[in-house]
């Protein structure tokens, strides 16, 4: 049995970003850049008005009120460039290029218009006010997004603004999900007292889709060699990554490790010194196929998913290693205690207080307590050998849900 840090190192030694491919901008959401994005011109490319109002010469408004003659108008996107000379101004809209001769913008709220072609400036004006200078946000050729950047909404907006209709990104790994257990039934099935509805399948499929790794192919199979062999063989042929829930411990019906070996897999680790989540494995098959064997209990699945499987998927998709496992440092709202020397992952939810955000422990009755799991935002990571932490202690918190 390995420890959590060694398991992570094993993963990162085995997985590497998938090949680079061109991707249309409208299909790049939740991917990772494979090359930097540069500014194709200055941002903004010219001096522009930051407010609706009037473009003026500051020297014409030394004393107020000052009455100026309106000699034109410039809307955002307009190529009009009416010059401004002594005693004149131009009506201007936010984002419009400054007309020649003007060196300040007066907000419309600070003016009065006594006649259709004149305006009175009521407040003091300083040169350069309410103007966005050429290249103020970024210079032409400046790196705006580094390779490895995650393409969320704001990143894609930036790409669109600099003319990137197509980006080079890493391919997204295809994922298969297999849940095992003869006792498992679908949510719609009528069940007896001895049967269990499969919650791990929907959990894994949905978690993958939420993070850009869907839609995942999903199969539910009994603890029988034939169906399990067929499901795993199919998944290994069609997907870069297979997530298996259940059947990975050492009991009579834990058939997954043996079948993986039969299919040519090399098991890189089997069993991690953590709680919950000890009975899990990671295996590689040939060149570029990966299997994560997750436990059957829901809380253990969540820990294995967020500590190992999802970070590995992010790495395959091109995420820098250091960013694959988001981590928050937050204070505990109340004391937590554990038993044993293994690394513990304790359920917690994030709550905002007057002083900021803190972690409130979520009690649970064991790794099968999916009701408690549904109330948690992630886990407090208790270091190996640490059995208690007081209220107020700043802890490592692994978020399952990000704001």
In this structure, the answer to whether residues 196 and 319 fall within a common structural domain is: yes
Closest residue by Cα to residue 400 from 330, 304, 317, 302: 302
In this structure, the answer to whether residues 184 and 314 fall within a common structural domain is: yes
pLDDT over 90 at 261, yes or no: yes
| Contact in structure between 208 and 301 (CB atoms under 8 Å) | no
Q: Who has greater pLDDT, 19 or 339? A: 19
> 299, 323, 347: which is the final residue of a domain?
323
Distance CA 220, CA 182 (A): 9
Burial of 355 (0-12, 13-18, 19+ CB in 10 A): exposed
In this structure, the answer to whether residues 27 and 158 fall within a common structural domain is: yes
> 289, 323, 357: which is the final residue of a domain?
323
pLDDT over 90 at 338, yes or no: yes
H or E stretch at 175: strand 175-180
Report yes or no on 137 lying in a domain. no
Closest residue by Cα to residue 275 from 338, 361, 337, 349: 338
In this structure, the answer to whether residues 233 and 106 fall within a common structural domain is: no
Residue 402 pLDDT grade (very low, low, confident, very high; cuts 50, 70, 90): low
Q: Give residue-wise pLDDT tens across range 349-366.
A: 999 988 899 999 999 999
In this structure, the answer to whether residues 68 and 79 fall within a common structural domain is: yes
Which residues are 169's β-sheet partners? 21, 33
> 290, 323, 356: which is the final residue of a domain?
323
Which pLDDT score is estimated for 252?
86
Distance CA 215, CA 236 (A): 16
Range scoring the smallest mean pLDDT among 67-76, 129-138, 245-254: 245-254
Question: pTM (2 decimals)?
Answer: 0.91
pLDDT over 70 at 11, yes or no: yes
In this structure, the answer to whether residues 77 and 28 fall within a common structural domain is: no
Residue-level length of the chain: 403
Residue 86 sits in a domain whose CATH number is 2.170.190.11
Report yes or no on 394 lying in a domain. yes
pLDDT over 70 at 29, yes or no: yes
Counted domains in the chain = 4
In this structure, the answer to whether residues 263 and 157 fall within a common structural domain is: no
Going from the C-alpha of 5 to that of each of 252, 274, 299, 351, the distances in angstroms are: 29, 10, 20, 29
Residue 187 gets the label, from left (phi > 0), alpha (psi -120 to 50) or beta, of alpha
Distance CA 223, CA 109 (A): 73
In this structure, the answer to whether residues 341 and 199 fall within a common structural domain is: no
Report yes or no on 138 lying in a domain. no
Percent of the chain with pLDDT over 70: 100
Instruction: Provide the domain limits for residue 395.
Output: 328-399
In this structure, the answer to whether residues 228 and 181 fall within a common structural domain is: yes
């Amino acid at each position: 049995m390995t420890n959590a840090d060694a398991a992570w190192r094993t993963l990162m030694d085995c997985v590497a970003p998938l090949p680079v491919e061109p991707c249309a901008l409208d299909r790049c959401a939740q991917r990772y850049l494979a090359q930097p994005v540069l500014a194709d011109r200055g941002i903004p490319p010219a001096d522009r008005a930051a407010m609706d109002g009037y473009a003026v010469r500051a020297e014409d408004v030394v004393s107020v009120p000052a009455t100026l003659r309106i000699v034109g108008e410039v809307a955002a996107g307009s190529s009009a460039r009416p010059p401004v000379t002594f005693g004149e101004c131009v009506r201007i809209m936010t984002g419009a290029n400054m007309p020649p001769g003007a060196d300040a913008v007066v907000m419309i709220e600070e003016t009065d218009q006594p006649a259709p072609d004149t305006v009175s400036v009521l407040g003091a004006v300083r040169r350069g006010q309410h103007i966005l200078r050429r290249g103020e946000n970024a210079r032409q050729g400046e790196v705006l997004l580094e390779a490895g950047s995650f393409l969320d909404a704001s990143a894609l907006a930036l790409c669109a603004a600099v003319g990137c209709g197509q980006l080079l990104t890493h391919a997204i790994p295809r994922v298969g999900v297999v849940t095992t257990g003869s006792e498992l039934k679908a949510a719609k099935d009528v069940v007896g007292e001895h049967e269990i509805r499969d919650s791990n399948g929907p959990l894994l499929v949905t978690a993958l889709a939420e993070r850009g790794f869907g839609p995942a192919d999903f199969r539910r199979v009994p603890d029988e060699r034939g169906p399990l062999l067929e499901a795993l063989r199919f998944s290994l042929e069609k997907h870069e990554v297979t997530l298996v829930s259940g059947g990975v411990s050492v009991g009579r019906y834990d058939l997954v490790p043996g079948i993986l070996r039969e299919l040519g897999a090399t098991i890189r680790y089997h069993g991690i010194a953590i709680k919950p989540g000890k009975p899990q494995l990671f295996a590689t098959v040939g060149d570029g196929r990966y299997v994560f064997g997750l436990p059957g209990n829901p809380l253990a699945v969540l820990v294995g998913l967020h500590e190992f499987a999802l970070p590995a998927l992010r790495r395959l998709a091109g995420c820098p290693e250091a960013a694959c496992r988001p981590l928050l440092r937050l204070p505990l709202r109340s004391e937590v205690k554990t038993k044993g020397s293994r690394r513990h992952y304790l359920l917690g939810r994030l709550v905002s207080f007057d002083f900021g955000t803190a972690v409130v422990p979520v009690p649970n009755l064991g790794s099968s307590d999916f009701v408690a799991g549904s109330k948690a935002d992630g886990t407090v990571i208790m270091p190996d050998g640490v059995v208690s932490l007081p209220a107020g202690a700043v802890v490592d918190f692994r978020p399952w849900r990000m704001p």
